Amino acid sequence: MASEDINSHATASSEETGQSASSNLQEESTKDANSAKPQAQVNRTSNLQKIRQRKQQTYNLPQEKKLLKLANYSACQAEECKCIGWKNAQPILKSAKGEIQQPVINFFDPCKICTHPLENHIKHLPVQSDEEINRLLGMAIDADNIFANTHREVDPDTKKVYIYLYKLLRNCIFSMTKPTVEGPLGQPPFERPNI
């Protein structure tokens, strides 16, 4: 009985406005969809701002800390060593309160993979300009963010794109080159023009 009253009220109000009830529902669903879009845009903007802030904080770190960050992406410079990135051999400690305490790292700590000191992974970096170090750090932060998003992504195709971009950035930091995304067919236009 109550549902009949609601239906008759909806029909009466739609007759007064000259619109059908279905168009009213469409407008409401469109409003909901449009209100979701700005929220997603706001989240994206705030995420980009957080990334910019994180990069700026990293750029302002002392040179020593910058080199420590890049060590994870730097190959060991010792002869015949195949290690592609320094990994901390010290265990991560937890306090009684459950807080994670990062161990103090110095340039003589051994790599977990190759056992060479951290110094061997970064000895090619101090000769680089500050701009180059910051460019590499920016790529390292982007690679970290992409890696974190890879684990959260559920769509397998998007996940493959994230993995490709992560590997591309990691290789560019490793080789100290600028990233260029190029597919198996090259860059557009794919067909070479014949004149």
Contact 162, 154 (CB under 8 A): no
| Torsion sign (Cα): 121, 126, 127, 131 | positive
Residue partners of 125: CB distance under 8 A and separation at least 6: 67, 70, 74, 133, 136
Provide the pLDDT for residue 89: 73
Provide the pLDDT for residue 189: 63
Contact 67, 122 (CB under 8 A): yes
Q: How far apart are CA 151 and CA 141, in angstroms?
A: 16
Residue where the block lists tokens 């007064």: 16
Residue partners of 47: CB distance under 8 A and separation at least 6: none
Question: For the chain, which ranges sit under pLDDT 70?
Answer: 1-40, 92-93, 95, 98, 100-103, 183-193
Provide the pLDDT for residue 141: 93
Provide the pLDDT for residue 159: 92
Provide the pLDDT for residue 192: 67
Provide the pLDDT for residue 121: 80
Q: Is the peptide bond before 189 cis (omega within 30 degrees of 0)?
A: yes
